[in-house]
Chains A and B, each alone.
Chain A
Amino acid sequence: MLSPFRITEVSAHCDLPCGVYDPAQARIEAESVKMICQKVADNDDADFRVRATIIKEQRSELVKHHLWVLWTDYFKPPHFEKYPNLHTLFNEATKLAGASGTKGEFDEAKADELLAKIEEISTIFWETKKA
Protein backbone atom coordinates (compact mmCIF):
# COMPACT_ATOMS: atom_id res chain seq x y z
CA MET A 1 0.00 0.00 0.00
CA LEU A 2 2.72 2.50 0.96
CA SER A 3 4.99 2.75 -2.06
CA PRO A 4 7.55 5.13 -3.55
CA PHE A 5 6.02 4.61 -6.99
CA ARG A 6 2.49 5.76 -6.28
CA ILE A 7 1.01 8.32 -3.93
CA THR A 8 -1.22 6.91 -1.21
CA GLU A 9 -3.80 9.27 0.28
CA VAL A 10 -3.58 9.67 4.04
CA SER A 11 -6.32 11.27 6.03
CA ALA A 12 -5.88 14.38 8.14
CA HIS A 13 -9.60 14.78 8.34
CA CYS A 14 -12.32 15.19 10.89
CA ASP A 15 -15.44 14.75 8.82
CA LEU A 16 -14.68 11.11 8.22
CA PRO A 17 -16.67 8.48 9.98
CA CYS A 18 -15.17 9.28 13.36
CA GLY A 19 -18.65 8.57 14.69
CA VAL A 20 -18.23 10.54 17.90
CA TYR A 21 -21.38 12.56 18.55
CA ASP A 22 -22.90 13.83 21.77
CA PRO A 23 -25.57 16.49 22.37
CA ALA A 24 -23.64 17.37 25.54
CA GLN A 25 -21.42 19.61 23.37
CA ALA A 26 -24.41 21.83 22.51
CA ARG A 27 -25.74 21.67 26.09
CA ILE A 28 -22.48 22.80 27.67
CA GLU A 29 -22.22 25.81 25.33
CA ALA A 30 -25.87 26.66 26.07
CA GLU A 31 -25.16 26.46 29.80
CA SER A 32 -22.35 28.97 29.29
CA VAL A 33 -24.81 31.27 27.53
CA LYS A 34 -27.25 30.98 30.43
CA MET A 35 -24.53 31.69 32.99
CA ILE A 36 -23.39 34.75 31.01
CA CYS A 37 -26.96 36.12 31.14
CA GLN A 38 -26.99 35.64 34.93
CA LYS A 39 -23.60 37.26 35.44
CA VAL A 40 -24.44 40.28 33.31
CA ALA A 41 -27.63 40.86 35.30
CA ASP A 42 -25.47 41.36 38.41
CA ASN A 43 -22.72 43.47 36.84
CA ASP A 44 -22.76 47.02 35.51
CA ASP A 45 -19.12 47.20 34.46
CA ALA A 46 -19.08 48.35 30.84
CA ASP A 47 -16.00 46.33 29.84
CA PHE A 48 -17.40 43.20 31.43
CA ARG A 49 -20.66 43.64 29.54
CA VAL A 50 -18.84 44.05 26.24
CA ARG A 51 -16.84 40.89 26.83
CA ALA A 52 -19.96 39.04 27.93
CA THR A 53 -21.75 40.12 24.75
CA ILE A 54 -18.92 38.91 22.54
CA ILE A 55 -18.54 35.61 24.34
CA LYS A 56 -22.29 35.00 24.42
CA GLU A 57 -22.37 35.56 20.65
CA GLN A 58 -19.56 33.02 20.15
CA ARG A 59 -21.07 30.42 22.49
CA SER A 60 -24.46 30.77 20.82
CA GLU A 61 -22.81 30.21 17.46
CA LEU A 62 -21.16 27.07 18.84
CA VAL A 63 -24.55 25.80 20.02
CA LYS A 64 -25.82 26.19 16.46
CA HIS A 65 -22.74 24.49 15.06
CA HIS A 66 -22.99 21.47 17.34
CA LEU A 67 -26.72 21.11 16.69
CA TRP A 68 -26.18 21.29 12.94
CA VAL A 69 -23.50 18.60 13.10
CA LEU A 70 -25.97 16.31 14.87
CA TRP A 71 -28.73 17.23 12.45
CA THR A 72 -26.75 16.70 9.27
CA ASP A 73 -24.12 14.10 10.22
CA TYR A 74 -25.56 11.97 12.99
CA PHE A 75 -29.29 11.70 12.33
CA LYS A 76 -30.27 9.61 9.30
CA PRO A 77 -33.55 9.35 7.32
CA PRO A 78 -34.92 6.46 9.45
CA HIS A 79 -34.51 8.63 12.55
CA PHE A 80 -36.51 11.44 10.96
CA GLU A 81 -39.22 8.94 10.02
CA LYS A 82 -39.39 7.58 13.54
CA TYR A 83 -39.29 11.03 15.17
CA PRO A 84 -41.27 13.31 12.85
CA ASN A 85 -40.79 16.32 15.15
CA LEU A 86 -37.00 16.10 14.92
CA HIS A 87 -36.60 18.59 12.05
CA THR A 88 -38.81 21.10 13.84
CA LEU A 89 -36.88 20.61 17.08
CA PHE A 90 -33.58 21.42 15.38
CA ASN A 91 -35.12 24.39 13.61
CA GLU A 92 -36.54 25.78 16.84
CA ALA A 93 -33.42 25.06 18.87
CA THR A 94 -31.05 26.74 16.40
CA LYS A 95 -33.41 29.73 16.19
CA LEU A 96 -33.32 29.97 19.99
CA ALA A 97 -29.52 30.18 19.74
CA GLY A 98 -29.74 32.86 17.03
CA ALA A 99 -30.47 36.56 16.76
CA SER A 100 -34.07 36.13 17.89
CA GLY A 101 -32.83 34.09 20.85
CA THR A 102 -29.71 34.00 22.97
CA LYS A 103 -27.52 35.93 20.52
CA GLY A 104 -29.81 38.92 20.48
CA GLU A 105 -30.79 39.13 24.14
CA PHE A 106 -29.54 38.73 27.68
CA ASP A 107 -32.63 36.75 28.58
CA GLU A 108 -32.13 33.82 30.90
CA ALA A 109 -35.59 32.49 30.03
CA LYS A 110 -34.50 32.21 26.37
CA ALA A 111 -31.44 30.24 27.47
CA ASP A 112 -33.69 27.93 29.50
CA GLU A 113 -35.93 27.40 26.48
CA LEU A 114 -32.83 26.58 24.44
CA LEU A 115 -31.59 24.11 27.06
CA ALA A 116 -35.02 22.45 27.12
CA LYS A 117 -34.96 21.99 23.32
CA ILE A 118 -31.45 20.54 23.47
CA GLU A 119 -32.67 18.17 26.18
CA GLU A 120 -35.51 16.98 23.90
CA ILE A 121 -33.00 16.38 21.10
CA SER A 122 -30.69 14.62 23.56
CA THR A 123 -33.49 12.29 24.70
CA ILE A 124 -34.14 11.26 21.09
CA PHE A 125 -30.41 10.96 20.43
CA TRP A 126 -29.90 8.51 23.30
CA GLU A 127 -33.02 6.54 22.28
CA THR A 128 -31.52 6.06 18.82
CA LYS A 129 -28.24 4.95 20.42
CA LYS A 130 -30.07 2.21 22.34
CA ALA A 131 -31.92 1.01 19.25
Chain B
Amino acid sequence: MTTRRALALVRVRGRSMLPTYRDGDVLLVLRGGRPRPGRAHVVDLPPDPAGRPRPLAVKRVTGRDPGDPARWWVDADNPAEGVTSFDVGGLPDEAIRAVVLGLVWRGLG
Protein backbone atom coordinates (compact mmCIF):
# COMPACT_ATOMS: atom_id res chain seq x y z
CA MET B 1 0.00 0.00 0.00
CA THR B 2 2.41 2.63 -1.22
CA THR B 3 0.03 4.87 -3.16
CA ARG B 4 -1.39 8.10 -1.76
CA ARG B 5 -4.11 7.62 0.85
CA ALA B 6 -7.58 7.61 -0.63
CA LEU B 7 -11.01 6.27 0.19
CA ALA B 8 -12.85 3.81 -2.02
CA LEU B 9 -16.02 1.73 -2.01
CA VAL B 10 -16.17 -2.02 -2.63
CA ARG B 11 -18.99 -4.55 -2.76
CA VAL B 12 -18.48 -8.01 -1.24
CA ARG B 13 -19.24 -11.01 -3.43
CA GLY B 14 -19.37 -14.46 -1.86
CA ARG B 15 -19.53 -15.98 1.59
CA SER B 16 -15.93 -16.39 2.69
CA MET B 17 -16.09 -13.40 5.07
CA LEU B 18 -19.22 -14.54 6.88
CA PRO B 19 -20.25 -13.84 9.57
CA THR B 20 -18.52 -10.43 9.41
CA TYR B 21 -19.45 -9.41 5.88
CA ARG B 22 -22.26 -10.76 3.74
CA ASP B 23 -22.67 -11.06 0.01
CA GLY B 24 -23.74 -7.64 -1.27
CA ASP B 25 -22.31 -5.60 1.61
CA VAL B 26 -20.73 -2.30 0.58
CA LEU B 27 -17.55 -1.43 2.48
CA LEU B 28 -15.57 1.78 2.82
CA VAL B 29 -11.87 1.08 2.37
CA LEU B 30 -8.71 3.17 2.65
CA ARG B 31 -5.87 2.79 0.19
CA GLY B 32 -2.31 3.81 0.81
CA GLY B 33 -1.82 2.96 4.48
CA ARG B 34 0.12 0.20 6.15
CA PRO B 35 -1.52 -3.23 6.51
CA ARG B 36 -3.13 -3.50 9.92
CA PRO B 37 -2.98 -7.02 11.33
CA GLY B 38 -6.36 -8.21 12.56
CA ARG B 39 -8.36 -6.09 10.11
CA ALA B 40 -10.01 -7.04 6.85
CA HIS B 41 -8.24 -5.82 3.70
CA VAL B 42 -8.72 -5.71 -0.04
CA VAL B 43 -5.97 -7.90 -1.47
CA ASP B 44 -4.58 -9.16 -4.75
CA LEU B 45 -4.34 -12.94 -4.74
CA PRO B 46 -1.76 -14.68 -6.92
CA PRO B 47 -2.97 -16.45 -10.10
CA ASP B 48 -4.43 -19.95 -9.71
CA PRO B 49 -2.34 -23.04 -10.61
CA ALA B 50 -3.59 -22.87 -14.22
CA GLY B 51 -2.22 -19.31 -14.45
CA ARG B 52 -5.63 -17.61 -14.53
CA PRO B 53 -5.82 -14.37 -12.54
CA ARG B 54 -7.91 -14.36 -9.40
CA PRO B 55 -10.21 -11.38 -8.78
CA LEU B 56 -9.53 -8.67 -6.23
CA ALA B 57 -10.57 -10.16 -2.89
CA VAL B 58 -11.49 -9.23 0.66
CA LYS B 59 -9.57 -11.20 3.31
CA ARG B 60 -8.45 -10.73 6.88
CA VAL B 61 -4.74 -10.03 7.40
CA THR B 62 -4.00 -12.06 10.52
CA GLY B 63 -0.35 -11.02 10.82
CA ARG B 64 3.02 -11.74 9.31
CA ASP B 65 3.59 -14.99 7.40
CA PRO B 66 5.22 -17.27 10.01
CA GLY B 67 7.45 -18.68 7.27
CA ASP B 68 8.48 -15.31 5.82
CA PRO B 69 8.29 -12.18 8.01
CA ALA B 70 8.38 -9.94 4.92
CA ARG B 71 4.97 -11.23 3.82
CA TRP B 72 1.40 -11.09 5.20
CA TRP B 73 -0.80 -14.03 6.14
CA VAL B 74 -4.43 -13.72 5.00
CA ASP B 75 -7.41 -15.79 6.04
CA ALA B 76 -11.16 -15.97 5.43
CA ASP B 77 -13.54 -15.36 8.36
CA ASN B 78 -15.65 -18.32 7.23
CA PRO B 79 -13.57 -21.46 7.87
CA ALA B 80 -15.69 -23.45 5.42
CA GLU B 81 -14.99 -21.23 2.41
CA GLY B 82 -12.47 -19.10 0.70
CA VAL B 83 -8.97 -19.00 -0.69
CA THR B 84 -6.49 -18.21 2.09
CA SER B 85 -2.75 -18.16 2.77
CA PHE B 86 -3.10 -21.87 3.50
CA ASP B 87 -3.73 -22.20 -0.25
CA VAL B 88 -1.62 -19.40 -1.72
CA GLY B 89 1.01 -18.63 0.95
CA GLY B 90 1.81 -15.20 2.37
CA LEU B 91 1.24 -12.06 0.31
CA PRO B 92 3.78 -9.28 -0.35
CA ASP B 93 3.20 -5.68 0.85
CA GLU B 94 2.08 -4.54 -2.61
CA ALA B 95 -0.69 -7.18 -2.70
CA ILE B 96 -2.38 -5.59 0.32
CA ARG B 97 -4.31 -2.90 -1.52
CA ALA B 98 -6.58 -1.30 1.08
CA VAL B 99 -7.78 -1.67 4.65
CA VAL B 100 -11.50 -2.07 5.34
CA LEU B 101 -12.74 0.79 7.54
CA GLY B 102 -16.29 -0.43 7.89
CA LEU B 103 -19.65 -1.39 6.51
CA VAL B 104 -21.50 1.44 4.79
CA TRP B 105 -24.47 -0.40 3.35
CA ARG B 106 -26.15 -3.76 3.84
CA GLY B 107 -29.24 -4.99 2.01
CA LEU B 108 -32.35 -6.19 3.82
CA GLY B 109 -32.67 -9.87 4.68
How many angstroms from the CA of A18 to the CA of B81 in the assembled complex?
A: 11
Q: Are A8 and B56 in contact (CB under 8 A)?
A: yes
Residues of B within 8 A of A1 (CB): 56
How many angstroms from the CA of A20 to the CA of B87 in the assembled complex?
A: 8
**CB neighbors of A among B2-24 (8 A):** 6-17, 21, 23
A42 located at the interface, meaning its Cβ lies under 8 Å from any Cβ of chain B in the complex: no
Q: Are B42 and A10 in contact (CB under 8 A)?
A: yes
Chain B: residues with Cβ within 8 Å of the partner, total of: 36
Identify A10's interface contact among B12, B76, B82, CB under 8 A: B12
A130 located at the interface, meaning its Cβ lies under 8 Å from any Cβ of chain B in the complex: no
Q: Are A17 and B54 in contact (CB under 8 A)?
A: yes
Whether A12 touches B54, Cβ cut-off 8 Å, given contacts A2-B97, A7-B10, A18-B87, is: no
Interface residue range, chain A: 10 to 19
How many angstroms from the CA of A1 to the CA of B43 in the assembled complex?
A: 13
A11 located at the interface, meaning its Cβ lies under 8 Å from any Cβ of chain B in the complex: yes
Q: Are B7 and A11 in contact (CB under 8 A)?
A: no
Q: Are B15 and A12 in contact (CB under 8 A)?
A: yes
